[in-house]
Amino acid sequence: MMRAMQAAGGSRRETMVGAGMLAVLFGATAAVAAAAPGSSKAPAATTTGGKAIGSSRPASLAVPGRDAAAEQATRVPVHSVTFVSPDDGWTLAGTACRQGICPAVYHTADRGGHWRRLADLPQSALGIDKPYGVRFADPMNGWVFGEALLATHDGGAHWDEVSTAGPVVALETSQRLAYAVIDPCIHTTECHKPETLIRSDVAADRWETATTLPSRAGIDAELAVRGDAVYVLPTDSELVASADGSQYATSSVPCQPDGGSRVSAAALAAASPADVTIVCVGGAAAGSQQKAVYASTDGARTFRRIGDPPLSGDTYQLSTPVPATTVIAASSGASDLYRTSDGGRKWSDVVHFGDGDGGVGWTDLAFVDAHHGAVVYGGDWAFANDRRPAGAPQPGTVYLSDDDGATWRPSTLPPDSGAPAAGRRSPSNQSRLLDAVRVSATAGWVLTPTGMLRTDDGGASWRLTPIPEIENPFPSTFVVLGSSAWSVSMSNEGPITVTRVNADGAVLTGHIPRPAAAYPSVSASFASPRDGWTAVLKAGPDREPGRSDIWSTRDGGATWTEVAADTALAGTLQLAGGHLVGLGKTFQTTADGGRTWRTVDVPVPFDTSLAGGFDDVAVFGRHEILPAGADTGLRGRQWAVVSDDTGRTWTVRDIPGDRANDGPPLRFVATSAAHWIATQQTEVWTTDDAGGHWRQLTGTAGPGSIETLSFADAVHGWAIASRGCGDIACPRDGGPAASLYASDDGGTSWARVSLPSG
C-alpha cells in the first residue's frame, strides 16, 4: 500500500479568494448544468485512451462529431486529483445537481482508464468558498478541503464534515498522519492572524494543533509531508520545518536577490524526508518570471542553487519524484510543464499549451512514485468559466505521466448524464449491507452497493475497495472464493459488469454485453481465481424465467466468451462439487460446460406455482444437500432435499421456518453433511444429524432480524441483521440500520462487528 507523494499545495499566485468564489466555481456553470440531459442515472464508467504528449503541442481534445455546446453541457470538469498508487486515484470534480453544479468525488482503479462517480458532495457543506482539493492517504482515508473539511474513511463512498477553526488551504499526508494548514484570514486583507498547522491520525478525525505558523502574506501556504518530516511555506519568505512532526523551526527561505529585484519563494516540494526543493521567483515581466531552484539534502538546514528554469510563465507548483528530477507547472500567456532530469542543469518544456490558452494554469502536480505523476490542467478555470479557451485543450482535465514526467496524456471523466437520482447517495443507500461471507475464523468479505470490505484479523481492521455501483442486486451478486471475491452489477442501460477484488486490494473488471431481452438476471460462479462462468437469464412471457446465455472466463473476469446462447437453463447457475448446476423451480445439471441442460428428478416439496424454488446446493463427498423454499403469500417454508448416494436417491427433510409474509427471509447453511444451521426471523437453529433433530440456539436475543447468514465452519459465522425490527423484516430505506454480527460459538451468541464509518 503506497501513500500519495503529493508534492505541492495551492497555487502561489498572490490572489485573495473572495467570499463569493463558490458561486463562481460551482455556481457560474449552472447554465451548463441546465443544458445537461435530464437522466437521473449515474454516469457509467468509461475508458479513456488519451495520446501521450511531450514537448510538441497536442491536438485539440474535442470529441469528433459532437456539438461544442453539447460537449460543454455534459463534460465533468476536474478541480483536483490525488493518487495513492500508480492505479488508485480520486478526483474532485463538478457534476450537475439540483442547485446547478455540485462537487463530486470520482475514483479510478486502473490509472485513469475508467472513472466512477463515488459520491456527490453538498454545496452547503463547502460553504461560500471553493474547494481547494482532495487528498487520500491510502485507499480508505481521504479528505476534501477548502472552506470546509470533509473526511472519508471508506474509500470515498461517504463523507462527513469535520469541525475546524477556519478554511483549510493545504492538506498533505504520510501513511500515519494527515497535516492541514488553517488560514483564518483568507477572506480579507485586513486580517493578520497567524495560520495554524493541525494534524490527525489518518484513520480518525481527531485534529490537534501541531504548531502556530507566521501570519500569511497574501498567499496560500505550501505544505509537503514525507515520512515523519513536515515542511511548510506559510509566507513567501519563511520556511517552517520539522524532522519528526513535533518540533518545528522557522528559517528564511534561501532565495537570493538577482539584480536588485525582490525574490520570493513560490513553490515547495520534498522527494524524501531530507530532500527538499524550493522555487524562488522575481523580476516579473509580461508573461514571464525569473525562476531559481534551490535544493537541500539535509532536511532544509542548507540549500544550494541547482538551476534556472525557463522564464516563460508564473510558477504555480513544483514536484520532485526523485532528487534529480524536478517538474514545474507554470502559466501566464500559456500553460507549461518544465522538467529537468539532471539536477537542474538542463530544462525541457515537456508540455506547452499556447495559441489561445491564455494562462489556464495547473493544479495538484504530484508524483506517487519515481515514475507516475498526475496534474489537473485548468482546474480553477473550468469551474469559473462555462467556455473553453479558443485553440486550447479542455480545461478541467487530468493529465497523467508514466515516465518520470517526460510525456503526459489526458484522462477524462465520463460525461455527466444529469443530476443523480433522489437518494442515490443517501446514507440509507450507501450504508446498506448486501451480503457478508466469512471464509475463516479471521477472514471474510462484506459487500455494499459501492464497495467490498475485506478483513484478515477478525474484523479489527478492514480494507475497502470501491466497485461499480450495484443498483439492482441479483441472486448471486456476490461470489467469494477464499482470497478473491466478485461482484456482478448491471445498470438500467449499460453492460453487465463483473468485478474481481483480491485480498490485497487488486481490482480486475470485465464486461458482458447486455441482452436485448427485458428484465435479465445474472448469476455467476468461479472454480478458481481465473476460471468462472455466468448465466444471463432472460425473462419469458409474463416475466417468468425463460432461457439463458452462458459465458465463461479464463482470466478472472477481465474477458468473457459466450459458450452458448438461449440454453434451457431456467434459473441461477452454481458450481457445486466440480459441476455446473442450475437452481430454480427445477434442479438442472450440464455435462458440456453449459451448452445443454437436463432436469434432475428430485422431490419438489413446494408448489411450483408459488414464489420460491431451489437454493444453493452444498456437496460433501457423496452427500448433496439442496435447500428449497416457497412463499404461499401468507407464510413461508423451507426444506432440505438430501441425497447420500451422489444423487441417485433423494429424501426431504424439514427445516425450521414458518415465517409471516412480512418476515425476514429464511436462511440455511450446511457446514458438513450432518451439521446444518438455519434461521427463522430472529431465531437460530442447528442440527447435528442432517435434520433428524433440531435445537434452538437463540431466540429474540439473537443478532436481530436476520437477512443473510454465512458460516466458515461449524463454529465461526456471520449474519447481517437489524435489531429493533422484531419478527418482521426491516424496511430497506428506514428502520434500524443493518449491521454485521459475528458468532464464534456456532451461533449461540453474537457480537456486532464494527465496519468503517458510513
Give 757's pLDDT tier (boundaries 50, 70, 90).
low
**Predicted confidence (pLDDT) per residue in 241-288, tens digit:** 999 999 999 999 999 876 666 788 889 999 999 999 999 998 777 778
pLDDT at 326: 94
The pairing of beta strand 463-466 with beta strand 451-455: antiparallel
pLDDT at 244: 93
pLDDT at 449: 83
At 403, give phi and psi (nearest 5°).
Answer: -135, 50
pLDDT at 725: 52
**Predicted confidence (pLDDT) per residue in 600-612, tens digit:** 999 988 877 777 7
**Cα distance between residue 39 and residue 320, in whole Å:** 43
Give 77's pLDDT tier (boundaries 50, 70, 90).
confident
Residue 209, classified by CB atoms within 10 Å of its CB into exposed (0-12), middle (13-18) or buried (19+), is exposed
pLDDT higher for 23 or 728?
728
pLDDT at 455: 94
At 70, give phi and psi (nearest 5°).
Answer: -65, -40
pLDDT at 72: 46
* Range from 86-95, 665-674, 736-745 carrying the lowest mean pLDDT: 736-745
Query: 248: helix, coil or strand?
Result: coil
Residue 500, C-alpha cell as written in the block? 474481481
Q: Residue 294's closest CA among 245, 258, 250, 259?
A: 258
* Range from 130-134, 417-421, 484-488 carrying the lowest mean pLDDT: 417-421
pLDDT at 481: 92
**Would you list the DSSP string of 301-356?**
SS-EEEE---SBSEEEEEEEEETTEEEEEEESSSEEEEEESSTTSS-EEEEEE-SS
CA 250 to each of CA 301, 303, 679, 704: distance values in angstroms, whole numbers, following the listed order: 11, 15, 65, 58
pLDDT at 702: 60
First to last CA, the chain: 22
**Cα distance between residue 629 and residue 717, in whole Å:** 22
Q: Please check the confidence at residue 113 and state whether its pLDDT lies above 60.
A: yes
**Predicted confidence (pLDDT) per residue in 144-162, tens digit:** 998 889 998 878 888 888 8
**Predicted confidence (pLDDT) per residue in 205-249, tens digit:** 889 999 999 876 656 789 999 999 999 998 888 999 999 999 999
Q: Residue 450's closest CA among 686, 722, 158, 207?
A: 158
Under 8 Å between Cβ of 249 and 238: no
Task: Encode 540-566 in three state secondary structure.
Answer: CHHHCEEEEEEEEECCCCCCCEEEEEE
Residue 54, C-alpha cell as written in the block? 511531450
Give 428's pLDDT tier (boundaries 50, 70, 90).
very low
Amino acid present at 57: R
* Range from 330-339, 413-422, 543-552, 625-634 carrying the lowest mean pLDDT: 413-422
**Predicted confidence (pLDDT) per residue in 23-67, tens digit:** 323 333 333 233 222 332 223 333 334 445 553 323 222 223 334
405 Cβ contact list (under 8 Å, min separation 6): 319, 321, 325, 327, 337, 339, 350, 367, 373
Per-residue pLDDT, averaged over 480-494, amounts to 85
| Whole-prediction pTM | 0.55
Per-residue pLDDT, averaged over 662-681, amounts to 81
pLDDT higher for 389 or 455?
455
Q: 583-615 as b/e, with b when 16 or more CB fall inside 10 Å? A: bbbbbbebeeebeebeebebebbbeeeeebbbb
pLDDT at 631: 65
Per-residue pLDDT, averaged over 119-124, amounts to 73
pLDDT higher for 701 or 622?
622
**Predicted confidence (pLDDT) per residue in 174-206, tens digit:** 988 999 999 887 766 667 788 899 999 988 888
Per-residue pLDDT, averaged over 444-454, amounts to 90
